[in-house]
Structure 1
Amino acid sequence: MHRKRSCLAALLLLLLPMKGWASEPPAPEEKAATAPSVAPARKWHSLTRVEVTSLALLPRAGVGEDEGFVQVEPTFILDGGSEFGVNLGAPVRFRLWGGNGDGAPVRREDWDSLSDWGQLVRGLLLGSDNAPMGIWFGPLEEHRLLSGHLVRRYSNRTNPDYHPAGGIFTGAAGPLYTEAFASDVLGARLMGAEVALDMEHLLFGQPKQRGRYTLAVSAVHDWGRTGGAAPSLTLAHLDAMAVVVARPGMEAYVNAGWGGRPGQGGAWGAVVGGGVDSLSERFNLRLRLEARRQHGGFRQGFFGADYELARFQAAGPDGVPLAEAHFPDGYSAFAEALVEWDAVSYGGLYKHLKLSLGAEAFSWGRFDVDGRVAVQLLERALEVALKGLAVGAGKPGARYLGAAEVRWRFLGGKLYAMGTGGTLHFPTAEGTLRPGAFASVGLGVDNAR
């Protein structure tokens, strides 16, 4: 079911290293790490890799002191098929200069809380979308909670000093399908769940195609106790969805929903829209378009790409956490596009082109957009990846982030050179955000090809 973006088969992508804004865009495809899509059952595969890079964290506008590191990043991947996989490894940054004279040989901010140790687990997969239950642990990138009206395009690694491991649970029983997630399995942070009821299954028995007509309810709560203290809050949403066109490789659907903030009167929002999914061996396209209404401070996609920074200081002139920020009543139009194209259809998760883009325009003049694109060239020897985020564009206090990476494989593909750079925001003890940047160059070696 295409709306169930928690499907563990899709999350196999995260068995490969994927970084937040503090490091770099996703790494190129490694065939050995994507064996579940092409390997025989019960056949095991492994991959090892080591990257060594120089890394500089630089302040912007003269704020703070720049820091320099040698970063060593080992990785081990064990792939046991479509229902088991593990990816272990983390970057260790040895200080070359800076650090305000604390003398620590390793960057303390990377390991100064229990949650930071979650970064050692980049992916642990148990089960699959075809199993009654599935569990996945690791970083969350562009995470969407089923309908996506509370959690959409969310990343738990946007804060460069906070490196948690998230967890996702999926389960199916009769007409019910459930997804639950935690942004930090080692700390009291963002947690939520959505339960979808297959109405056709409930009323007429097992259908030929699951999930054509569903009702769903979701709720998300942020305790705000780890990754830096911030105000807690709870949101809930009710959704209805119907597939109006179902053909091999293509579906079109319509949806409507209503949500609010329990315990806070007058905070509500409504949404109506639809989308199309077209899937084939070489080309995948997912489009979604919605009209939204916001009132009393509630908005759809509240837990989005910027949330791990906005929970400290929302984009805009107020300079307060998102839970307390003023959000004008009004309307918005939201659009999302996901595009994948591969010239040879070799069965891997990475393609010659991968594009993900989400944008929302508000009736009172604000514009939000975030996206990423990666292309592979020269027989997959060269990969260029870009990603960007703009929140509150068109209004004072807008927030912008960007990152780029280039990787070039040579000597048969086992050795590669890489260069990355981009912008950051570091939360401070005062609850504000300190702007910064990063840049790195280095080499890596693996047995991916």
Structure 2
Amino acid sequence: MEPPLSASSAGRLHYLARLESTGFALLPGGGTGGVERYVQLTPMLVLDGGKELGVNLGAPVRLRLGGGVPGVGWVRREDWDSLSDWGQLVRALKLGSDASPVGLWAGALDSYSLLSGHLVRRYSNRTNPDYHPAGAFLTGTLGPLYAEAFSSDVLGARLMGAEVALDLAHLFTGPQEQPGRYTLALSAVHDWGRAGGHSPQVTLAHLDGTAVLVVRPGYELHVLAGWGGRPGVGGAWGAVAGVGADAVTPTLDARLRLEGRGQHGGFRQGLFGPDYELARFRAAGPSGLPVVEAPFPDGFSVYGEAVVGWDAVRLGGLRQRHLHLSLAVEAFTWGRVDVDWRLAVQLAERRVEVAVSALAAGVGRPEARYLYSGEVRWRFGGWLYAVGQGGTLLFPTPDGTLRPGAFASLGLGVDHAR
């Protein structure tokens, strides 16, 4: 029940004000003082100016009720102890749209992919529960060129990258009725490793080609191939080839992809993925090293992804759908499997929303990593709703280990929209 950032009626400024109050329990684990108990207050203000303007502000404030280490103050220090943490005040900012020559989006990055997705895929910048940055991405179009640049933390030196795609048909024969059928793209990403805790720096680059073979109303089929590596690191490279399909109707938005991948010298596609904000300190597996330094066997993998949104009435906004399913699985020939799964459903005339997610990295190998979370929201009045959340966490520590924990919250929210 997160409010969308676009309104159905253009030219008017809409707003929504909301306040949630929940009892929040945090179990850091590792003998750090037991269960920490808080009252969590989450104010939020949304300004909605249509397709090309939206602002969503607000952040949770946790006031200590008891537990944990004595004498640490009323407000949970780890939520606000760095400049990057102040980025959480911006939940979302949108300037421009997909049809604009230039567009900007800022806020929490959740399941973000950089265009082709072979370097940054399904990345989330807040997987570390003590690090709350605001990321951003900027898009622009100029003739046959389309570019996207992003930063995972606009207030700190962290993950930054860009991808530039060249429309070959537009380049040689001029603007096309169906742009982007044949593209060549180059992407590069660098992690400075200086915010949200120090970690090794790394740079990756990738070259991609895509050809759209079938175009029908509401349906598209394309093939792709690419090659990538680590600049300055000899023998670290990877190749990929695959097929994808997109289907869009008023009630269905589905994207499917199937790829065969090869990895050599420690390079892998999708390194900056859903697990990266933890793996940058300690990779899944027995090595105990950051993912940049951990051994990664040469071999091949099969990657499959499905992102499906469906609504019985009509898709609209960011959360206006009865079903949203996002699933990615990568199976490696040497016995490892990675899974990222998310499901959200709206029930009882959209009064109830249930969302669950699971992340598993390194399944089939020693010291695999698992994270689970779930949320239920139930609106039982025009302005009043109940919310419950829970899940598991991993806390990076200064010595490079990950300390397990869990959280649970239950409370009420009120809002007013106009």
Which category describes the TM-score, using the shorter chain as reference length? Answer: over 0.9
Distance 2:357 2:236 in 1: 32
Pairing partner for 1:390 from 360, 370, 379? 360
- Given that residues 179 and 193 in structure 1 are in contact (C-alpha distance below 8 angstroms), is that contact kept between their aligned partners in structure 2? yes
Distance 1:349 1:303 in 2: 24
Rounded to whole Å, the distance in 2 between the matches of 1:348 and 1:176 is 28
Where in structure 2 are there 5+ consecutive unaligned residues? none
Alignment of 1:200-239 (within 5 A): 200-239=169-208
2:15 paired residue number? 46
Higher helix proportion, which one?
1
Tell me the CA shift for residue 44 of structure 1.
1.1
Q: Out of 366, 370, 380, which is 1:400 matched to?
A: 370
The aligned amino acid for 2:125 is: N
1:362 is aligned to: 332
Task: Say whether 1:295 aligns with 2:295.
Answer: no
Q: Distance in 2 between matches of 1:136 and 1:117?
A: 17
Measure, in 2, the Cα distance between the counterparts of 1:297 and 1:388.
26
Aligned-residue RMSD, C-alpha: 1.2
Match of 1:376 in 2: 346
Q: 1:438–1:49: structure 2 CA closer, same or farther, 3 Å change rule?
A: same
Summarize the alignment of residues 181-196 of structure 1 with structure 2, pairs less than 5 Å apart.
181-196=150-165
**1:116 has 2:112 as partner:** no
Equivalence for 1:12: none
SS in 1 for 2:266: coil
Identity of aligned residues (%): 66
TM-aligned CA deviation for residue 136 of structure 1: 1.2
* Stretches (4+) displaced over 4 A: 60-64
Tell me which residue corresponds to 1:320.
289
TM-score normalised by structure 2 residue count? 0.98
Answering whether residue 54 of structure 2 is matched by residue 85 of structure 1, we say yes
Matched, 1:417 2:386: yes
Residue 16 (structure 1) aligns with: none
SS of equivalent residue, structure 2 residue 116: coil
* 8 Å contact kept, 1:35–1:45: no
Q: Which moved more, 1:193-202 or 1:123-132?
A: 123-132
Give me the whole-angstrom Cα distance separating, in 1, the residues matched to 2:208 and 2:72: 53
- Candidates 311, 326, 340, aligned match of 1:342: 311
> Aligned AA for 2:346?
Q
Q: Match of 1:249, as an amino acid?
A: G
- 1:250-287 CA distance string (max 9 Å, x none): 10000000000011100000000011000001112110
Shift of 1:366: 0.1
1:98 counterpart = 2:67: yes
Q: Does 1:436 align with 2:405?
A: yes
Deviations 1:372-418 (A, max 9, x none): 10001100111111000000000001000000111111123x21111
Taking structure 1 as the reference length, what is the TM-score of the superposition?
A: 0.91
Residues in 2 aligned to 1:29 and 1:153: alpha-carbon distance in whole angstroms: 20
Alignment match, 1:156: 125
Q: Following the alignment from structure 1 to structure 2, what is the Cα–Cα distance between the partners of residues 436 and 444?
A: 26
Q: Does the 8 Å CA contact 2:361/2:370 hold for their aligned counterparts? A: yes
Contact 2:25 2:36 in 1 (8 A): yes
In the alignment, the residues of structure 2 paired with residue 61 and residue 112 of structure 1 have an alpha-carbon distance, to the nearest angstrom, of 21
SS of 1:334's equivalent in the other structure is strand
2:90 is the alignment partner of 1:126: no
Aligned to 1:17: none
Asked if 1:309 corresponds to 2:268, the answer is no
- C-alpha distance in structure 2 between counterparts of 1:296 and 1:402, whole Å: 32
Native 8 Å contact 1:198 1:215 kept in 2? yes
